[in-house]
Amino acid sequence: MSKLVSNLQQGQKLSDDAAKGWVKAVSVLAAPDMPTIPGLPAAPDMGAATKYVFDVAADLPTAQRDFASELTNVVVPPKTV
């Protein structure tokens, strides 16, 4: 399992390096301001959005496990001794 994690981390490092290179290359280009829409809040920054998505993703397996356990107990009642 650790070899899998090590390979994954190497791939992440390569992706990180590529993203840094891309950002450095395009950072010299002018970027237009995004339009605002009255009445709508501004979009969260990317760091906050990323944290939120991973927090939700971390909570989903627990919710799914609880649901599956409850459903299993309904479909297959516990055996009485």
Question: What's the mean pLDDT in 31-60?
Answer: 87
Question: Domain for residue 66, yes or no?
Answer: yes
CB-side neighbour CA atoms (13 Å) of 18: 6
What total number of domains does the chain contain?
Answer: 1
Question: Domain for residue 8, yes or no?
Answer: yes
Do residues 52 and 44 lie in contact, with contact meaning Cβ atoms separated by under 8 Å? yes
Which tens digits make up the pLDDT trace of 49-79?
A: 899 999 999 999 999 999 999 999 889 877 7
How far is Cα of residue 31 from the mean position of the Cα atoms in its chain? 26
Identify the DSSP state of 73. H
pLDDT tops 70 at residue 44: yes
Domain containing residue 60: 2-26+44-75
